């Protein structure tokens, strides 16, 4: 099948969420000019929760000052981690919670570091996890270190608040920090709004000050582009325009353009976006070696691509994929095993993928239904297999609203 046409990508929810938090700390409305905030559910929810907490923190004669206000982050990891620090600094008594899966995801390093800075945070069920009771207090800042081996969002949460603290923040990252491009994104956006931030390898210094109201243009989302790169790789031919994308060191997932050269996908930057075309994939004399410690959101699309193209590979830096909306390694392997036979050895931090073989076509006469495990990235990655298997279906297709609400519409337009 040939892919051709133009795709409208969503704007980055990572950029949108950081800009929203900065506007909240700065006390000004966020101006995006001709750009738009992401319409992803995570960003819509973040905006709504910031509005809720802003209104409920105001003095009110009708509400007791000790009343506990529930802040439900649902399944949004970014919102729960960013709002933890925000509520710790905000007058009121708050109960921060989420879905059962969200209450299983790690929070301990951020909780412990905030406590060292003077925050009043109590775990209501399991230590180190949601739900939390947070009593807002004044945080002065200071010097601390943090374990960011499970999520860079712990770091970004502290950095975003730090300019408002009297002493600012000197934050040292313990060895093994992951997804550091997202930390760099946070620092860059903070600087755009007037914060004075210095990063020296594993140490980040935020000087006290105030955020300045400035227009911010949110970029198109490179993470969302990965599913189109996957489809381009699986297509027979391709001439596809991804609108709004630009060379963007702010988004670490822009490395997908370089990565997919191995699968014969060529990227051309044009005034309106990125054009994907197909070339003959390079002949590989040994398995691809891929490290996802700094780009975990690209794993689903790339792993599916490798299996579908029978491309052996070694995947490293995958230890935290079990902590996402689903256990992404287990989810992807389980569903791919419905249609492919492949050698796959998995340990804590590595997958060795050997040869793969499409199962007997007689088994594929009916439409394959893949489970999503309530994971948006699993759903979008598995859907790309329609280019080699014919029609496929996913259960709960609505999960893509978490990051890419228009994905199915755009897909129908192209396919």
For the annotated catalytic residues, the residue numbers are 297
Residues 6+ apart with CB under 8 A from 374: 75, 101, 325, 326, 396, 399
Q: Which helix (H) or strand (E) holds 68?
A: strand 68-72
Nearest in space to 197 (alpha carbons), one of 236, 171, 233: 171
Q: What is the DSSP string of 95-147?
A: EEE--TTGGGS--HHHHHHHHHTT-EEEESSSTTSS-EEEE------EEEEE-
* Residue 40 C-beta-side C-alpha neighbours within 13 Å: 28
- Residues with Cβ within 8 Å of 373's Cβ and at least 6 positions away in sequence, in order, are 325, 326, 327, 331
Residues near 314 by beta carbon (within 8 Å), at least 6 away in sequence: 287, 288, 289, 290, 350, 351, 352, 353
Contact 263, 279 (CB under 8 A): no
- Please give, one letter per residue, the 3-state secondary structure of 381-412: HHHCCHHHHCCEEECCHHHHHHCCCCHHHHHH
Q: Which of 260, 267, 268 is nearest to 288 (CA)?
A: 260
Helix (H) or strand (E) holding 330: helix 328-336
**Residue 360 gets which letter from DSSP?**
P
């Amino acid at each position: 099948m040939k892919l051709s046409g133009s795709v409208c990508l969503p704007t980055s929810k990572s950029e949108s969420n950081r800009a929203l938090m900065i506007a909240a700390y700065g006390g000004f409305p966020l101006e995006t000019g001709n750009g738009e905030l992401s319409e992803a559910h995570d960003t819509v929810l973040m905006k709504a929760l910031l509005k809720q907490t802003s209104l409920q923190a105001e003095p009110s004669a009708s509400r007791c000052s000790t009343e506990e206000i529930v802040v439900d982050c649902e399944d949004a990891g970014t919102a729960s981690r960013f709002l933890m620090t925000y509520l710790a600094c905000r007058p009121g008594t708050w109960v921060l919670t989420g879905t059962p899966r969200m209450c299983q995801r790690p929070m301990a390093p951020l909780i412990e570091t905030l406590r060292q800075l003077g925050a009043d945070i109590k775990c209501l069920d399991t230590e180190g996890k949601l739900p939390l009771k947070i009593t807002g207090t004044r945080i002065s800042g200071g010097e601390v270190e943090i374990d960011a081996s499970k999520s860079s969002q712990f770091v970004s949460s502290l950095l975003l608040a730090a300019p408002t603290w009297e002493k600012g923040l000197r934050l040292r990252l313990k060895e093994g920090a992951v997804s550091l491009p997202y930390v760099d994104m946070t620092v860059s956006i903070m600087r755009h709004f007037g914060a004075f931030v210095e990063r020296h390898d594993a140490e980040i210094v935020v000087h006290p000050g105030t955020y300045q109201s400035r227009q911010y243009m949110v970029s198109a989302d490179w993470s969302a582009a990965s599913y189109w790169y996957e489809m381009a790789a699986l297509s027979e031919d391709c001439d596809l325009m991804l609108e709004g994308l630009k060379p963007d060191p702010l988004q670490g997932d822009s490395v997908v353009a370089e990565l997919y050269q191995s699968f014969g996908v060529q990227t051309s930057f044009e005034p309106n976006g990125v054009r994907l075309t197909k070339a003959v994939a390079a002949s590989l004399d040994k398995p691809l070696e891929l490290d996802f410690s700094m780009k975990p959101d690209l794993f689903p699309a790339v792993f599916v691509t490798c299996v579908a193209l029978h491309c052996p590979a070694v995947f490293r830096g995958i230890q935290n994929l079990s902590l996402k909306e689903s256990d992404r390694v287990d989810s992807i392997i389980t569903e791919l095993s419905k249609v492919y036979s492949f050698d796959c050895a998995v340990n804590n931090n590595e997958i060795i993928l050997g040869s793969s073989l499409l199962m007997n076509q007689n088994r594929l006469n009916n439409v394959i239904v893949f489970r999503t495990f309530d994971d948006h990235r699993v759903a979008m990655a598995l859907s790309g297999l329609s280019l080699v298997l014919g029609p496929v279906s996913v259960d709960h297709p609505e999960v893509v609203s978490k990051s890419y609400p228009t994905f199915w519409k755009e897909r129908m337009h192209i396919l």
